[in-house]
């Protein structure tokens, strides 16, 4: 008698077994077929849970040996929700009331638990800090993340503490300030200088074809292409001349859309990646070798992408008041800017 599909199964994948796989352990073979999405331990748990079949028959033994000519069907279960624990982590709080909290996020702090970062995140810290003042998002006592900053990006970030704030702020961030009062500005330090004092980078983003963790500018017609627009304005240029030959520049960026790594990818796309960006600007690091010795280390070994969320403005979801917050440069970012200002001018 066949065993019914489990309620948690949301997708099926079928894998024919070839002659070369005959006699191979089921768990080992499936782990190789699904890498890197599923680990061998995860595959074993799925098998034991009854979500793997061979020619339609459920197999619960990870050590089962394969037979050529059969078909292995893998049911992809619904991922189990993470249950972040409260953790004591210092936060730089700019504002807090019953509806929301605004913090100055340091570089190195992950916003939300995920693969490789299940603890030590901003969410873990907020669950501890807010405690019973969290009235819940969707009936669960947890903070409502309405926007994110990359782990190594510093600056202003707002989090909702209840459903009212979560809905209102989510709508505002989805609109990106086109019709409302939301305003966001980032400061970035770039290699070289952009060709115009102010401009727009309008280029769709999608997954990189060489690395699934990266984003890239892709053709508009590609299925995963997402509209992405970044407005920029040069704030300051750094030696040897305050012209197109400048060694580096400080730029303010404002987002018309909010895609993953948008500023970093767009600036690299136009030939001026962020200083310290090991993902999108690694090839530019050797430019620091041209600097005087006292500046070479500060610039060349800057440990993260030089990106800081400088400004955040939004309308309070309950009072209707316009709130505006600015975060000063953190010490490492300020040191980088000051070092570049010491570059000699001709």
Per the listing, tokens 């310290």 go with 276
Q: What residues pair up with 248 in beta bridges, in sequence order?
A: 191, 238
Which pair of structure tokens corresponds to residue 133? 């003042």
Q: Is 5 a catalytic residue?
A: no
Which pair of structure tokens corresponds to residue 139? 């009936």
CA-to-CA separations, 221 to 104, 203, 210, in angstroms, rounded: 38, 12, 19
Alpha carbons 108 and 119: distance in angstroms, whole number: 13
CA-to-CA separations, 344 to 188, 285, 288, 339, in angstroms, rounded: 21, 20, 14, 11
- Which segments of 175-320 are extended strands (E)? 183-191, 198-202, 205-207, 215-217, 229-238, 248-255, 307-315
The catalytically annotated residue of 150, 163, 175, 293 is 150
- Nearest residue to 312 via CA among 167, 149, 197: 149
23: left (phi over 0), alpha (psi -120 to 50) or beta: left
- Nearest residue to 262 via CA among 247, 277, 248: 277
Catalytic residue IDs:
150
């Amino acid at each position: 008698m066949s065993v019914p599909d489990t309620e948690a199964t949301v997708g099926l994948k079928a894998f024919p077994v070839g002659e070369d796989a005959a006699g191979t352990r089921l768990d080992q073979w499936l782990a190789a077929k699904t890498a890197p999405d599923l680990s061998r331990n995860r595959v074993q748990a799925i098998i034991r849970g009854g979500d793997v079949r061979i020619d339609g028959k459920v197999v619960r033994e990870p050590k089962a040996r394969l037979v050529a000519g059969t078909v292995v069907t893998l049911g992809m279960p619904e991922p189990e929700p993470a249950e972040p624990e409260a953790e004591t982590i210092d936060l730089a709080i700019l504002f807090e009331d019953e509806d929301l909290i605004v913090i100055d996020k340091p570089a190195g702090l992950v916003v939300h638990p995920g693969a490789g970062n299940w603890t030590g995140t901003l969410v873990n810290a907020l669950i501890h800090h807010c405690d019973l003042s969290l009235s819940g998002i969707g009936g669960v006592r947890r903070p409502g993340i309405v926007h994110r900053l990359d782990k190594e990006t510093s600056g202003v970030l707002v989090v909702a503490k209840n459903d009212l704030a979560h809905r209102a702020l989510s709508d505002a961030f989805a609109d990106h300030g086109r019709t409302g009062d939301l305003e966001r500005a980032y400061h970035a330090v770039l290699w070289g200088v952009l060709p115009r004092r102010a401009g727009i980078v309008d280029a769709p983003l999608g997954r990189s074809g060489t690395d699934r963790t990266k984003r890239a500018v892709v053709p508009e017609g590609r299925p995963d292409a997402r509209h992405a627009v970044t407005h920029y304005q040069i704030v300051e240029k750094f030696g040897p001349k305050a012209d197109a030959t400048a060694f580096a520049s400080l730029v303010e960026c404002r987002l018309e859309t909010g895609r993953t790594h948008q500023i970093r990818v767009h600036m690299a796309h136009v030939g001026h990646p962020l200083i310290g960006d090991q993902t999108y600007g690694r090839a530019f690091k050797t430019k620091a070798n041209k600097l005087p010795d006292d500046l070479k280390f500060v610039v060349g070994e800057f440990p993260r992408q030089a990106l800081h969320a400088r400004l955040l403005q939004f309308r309070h979801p309950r009072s209707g008041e316009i709130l505006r917050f600015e975060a000063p440069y953190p010490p490492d970012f300020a040191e980088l800017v000051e070092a570049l200002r010491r570059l000699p001018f001709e």
